[in-house]
């Protein structure tokens, strides 16, 4: 083979690799992976933060107190910005913020500065989630939307599966290194994937393409409130999950990381199940799974028969919650009509605000009644997430919604 031929083959392989890395499925998966990698690192090291900075475990769980509400606002702004900038541009911004926040968190000399360093991390995570989910809706046909959304959302549990054992190992050396071992490389990889994608166009909307327009629709308003409550329940569980294993069972950081990776693997399996479900039954699946998740979460925090049993209970709750998240996201698109780009922003906002609400309610419950009180707090939030959808008048009950094209 001539030199020219070798060069041609190499160039072809490079172009193919670049096209694969920049494909929508890969970009969205890596974006959601980086988003979750930026926020999950705190769960296994709450005990280390408590010891390092001399604060209580409940107080350490509030390290997101400033970042989470700001991230929720960022998510809403990102949703509006998608009408002027392409998802590719916002994904690049989000990856940059996660990387910068990770470096700042690793270097933070005090608890207050660590909380401040979390602001760019969470702002980046919110941007990645809002732009990524909105793009999943815009880049898919209605009949394929459940699968595309599931594929994008798979990035989050994969970050837990990969990250938790890694964080456990690195935390044995020093807790500060975890910020450099997972979220920073994840942000860099997501940025490279985004850069490999051709420049896109903004996601258009209808004449009333606004949050007021979307939330002015009763089913969409109920959906958003329910998602905030459900996100608070599961986010709160994740915030204190590492402490459950380290404080109740005395597990090492490495053992805790492995346990949480198992829980994340169950979440990934639930994600795949959710992607195969019938979109016409998305609302019913969402409600049924909320009740099942409530039971699983309550049992996780109420019973402590052994670490293995707790891992199984939390894994079952994780599986059901994941399937619920996919169904609920698809249901959100179905009630949004031509305001699909707002769905991604609201999903991101409820996820970020959910960490604030969940950690706040969980911290209060933990301070008042210990880990057992978290069963009532988080199980109750899952039950509460079904209440906005309870219809007292049958004509107002949307048993079924046809999928609408997005933006």
Range of the domain at 355: 22-200+216-396
Residue 294: which of 386, 360, 391 has the closest Cα? 386
Residue 56 DSSP symbol: -
Closest CA to 187 of 128, 261, 113, 138: 128
Tokens 């602001």, located at residue: 119
3-state SS class at 139: coil
Assigned token pair, 121: 């991390």
Number of domains in the chain: 1
CA distances from 214 to 141, 334, 340 (A): 20, 12, 9
Length of the chain equals 407
In a domain, 406, yes or no: no
List the one residue out of 182, 239, 180, 179 whose CA is nearest residue 43. 239
Q: Which of 367, 372, 229 is nearest to 310 (CA)?
A: 372
For 172-199, letters b (16+ CB in 10 Å) and e give: eeebbebbbbbbbebbbbbbebbebbee
Looking up tokens 């949050």 gives: 211
What is the predicted pLDDT for the residue at 128? 92
pLDDT at residue 341 in the model? 65
- Asked whether residue 390 is domain-assigned, the answer is yes
CB atoms within 10 A of CB 128: 35
In Å, how far are 48, 78, 206, 353 from 376, measured between CA atoms? 27, 34, 42, 20
Question: Is residue 273 situated within a structural domain?
Answer: yes
Contact 213, 273 (CB under 8 A): no
Report how far residue 66's alpha carbon sits from residue 213's, in angstroms, rounded to the nearest whole number. 28
Asked if 201 contacts 78 with a C-beta cutoff of 8 angstroms, the reply is no
Would you say 63 and 121 are in contact if contact means Cβ atoms under 8 Å apart? Answer: no
Residue 4 is assigned to a structural domain of this protein: no
Alpha-carbon gap, residue 348 to 127, rounded angstroms: 8
Query: Does residue 15 form part of some domain?
Result: no
Provide the pLDDT for residue 405: 40
Residue 83: per-residue pLDDT: 76
Model pLDDT, residue 18: 52
- Cβ-count burial of 85 within 10 angstroms (0-12 exposed, 13-18 middle, 19+ buried)? middle
Residue 135 lies in a domain: yes
Alpha carbon distance 233, 379 (integer Å)? 7
- pTM of the complete model beyond 0.85: no
Is residue 12 domain-resident?
A: no
Among candidates 384, 224, 356, which has minimal Cα distance to 290? 384
Q: CATH number of the domain that 89 lies in? A: 1.20.1250.20
- The confidence score (pLDDT) of residue 205 equals 52
- Whether 206 is covered by a domain: the verdict is no
Q: What pLDDT tens digit does each residue of the chain (407 aa) get?
A: 555 444 444 444 444 445 566 677 788 899 999 998 988 888 778 778 888 888 877 777 677 666 777 877 887 788 778 778 888 889 999 999 999 999 999 999 998 898 888 889 989 998 998 888 877 767 666 666 667 777 787 888 888 888 888 888 898 899 899 999 999 999 999 999 988 877 777 776 543 445 666 677 788 889 989 999 999 999 899 888 888 898 889 988 788 888 988 998 999 899 888 777 777 788 888 999 999 999 999 999 998 889 999 999 999 999 999 999 988 988 888 887 666 667 777 887 888 788 788 988 998 998 899 888 999 999 999 999 999 987 645 544 554 444 444 33
């Amino acid at each position: 083979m001539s030199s020219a031929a070798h060069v041609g083959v190499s160039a072809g392989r490079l172009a193919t690799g670049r096209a694969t890395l920049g494909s929508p499925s890969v970009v969205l998966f890596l974006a959601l992976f980086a988003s979750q990698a930026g926020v999950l690192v705190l769960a296994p090291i709450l005990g280390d933060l408590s010891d390092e900075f001399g604060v209580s475990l409940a107080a350490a769980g509030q390290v997101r107190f400033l970042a989470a509400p700001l991230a929720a606002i960022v998510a809403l702004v990102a949703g509006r910005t998608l009408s002027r900038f392409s998802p590719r541009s916002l994904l690049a911004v989000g990856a940059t913020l996660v990387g910068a926040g990770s470096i700042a968190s690793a270097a933070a000399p005090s608890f207050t500065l660590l909380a401040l360093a979390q602001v760019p991390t969470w702002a980046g995570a919110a941007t990645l989630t809002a732009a990524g989910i909105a793009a999943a809706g815009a880049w898919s046909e209605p009949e394929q939307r459940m699968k595309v959304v599931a594929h994008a959302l798979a990035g989050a549990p994969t970050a837990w599966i990969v990250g938790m054992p890694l964080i456990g190992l690195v935390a044995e050396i020093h807790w500060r290194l975890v910020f450099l071992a997972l979220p920073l490389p994840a942000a860099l990889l997501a940025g490279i994937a985004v850069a490999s994608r051709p420049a896109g166009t903004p996601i258009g909307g209808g004449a009333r393409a606004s949050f007021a327009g979307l939330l002015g629709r009763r089913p969409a308003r109920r959906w958003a409130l329910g998602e905030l409550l459900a996100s608070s329940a599961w986010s709160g569980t994740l915030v204190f999950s590492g402490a459950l294993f380290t404080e109740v069972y005395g597990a090492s950081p490495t053992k805790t990381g492995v346990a949480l990776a198992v829980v994340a693997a169950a979440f990934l399996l639930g994600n795949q199940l959710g992607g195969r479900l019938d979109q016409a039954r998305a609302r019913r699946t969402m409600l049924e799974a909320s009740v099942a998740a409530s039971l699983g979460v309550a049992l996780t925090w109420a019973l402590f028969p052994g670490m293995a049993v707790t891992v199984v209970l939390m894994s079952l709750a994780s599986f059901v919650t994941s399937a619920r998240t996919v169904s609920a996201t698809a249901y959100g698109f179905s009630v949004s009509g031509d305001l699909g780009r707002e769905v991604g922003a609201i999903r991101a906002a409820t996820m970020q605000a959910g960490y604030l609400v969940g950690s706040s309610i969980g911290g209060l419950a933990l301070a008042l009644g210990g880990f057992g009180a978290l069963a009532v707090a988080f199980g109750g939030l899952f039950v509460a997430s079904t209440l906005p959808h309870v219809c007292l008048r049958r004509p107002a009950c949307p048993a079924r919604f046809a999928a609408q094209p997005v933006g």
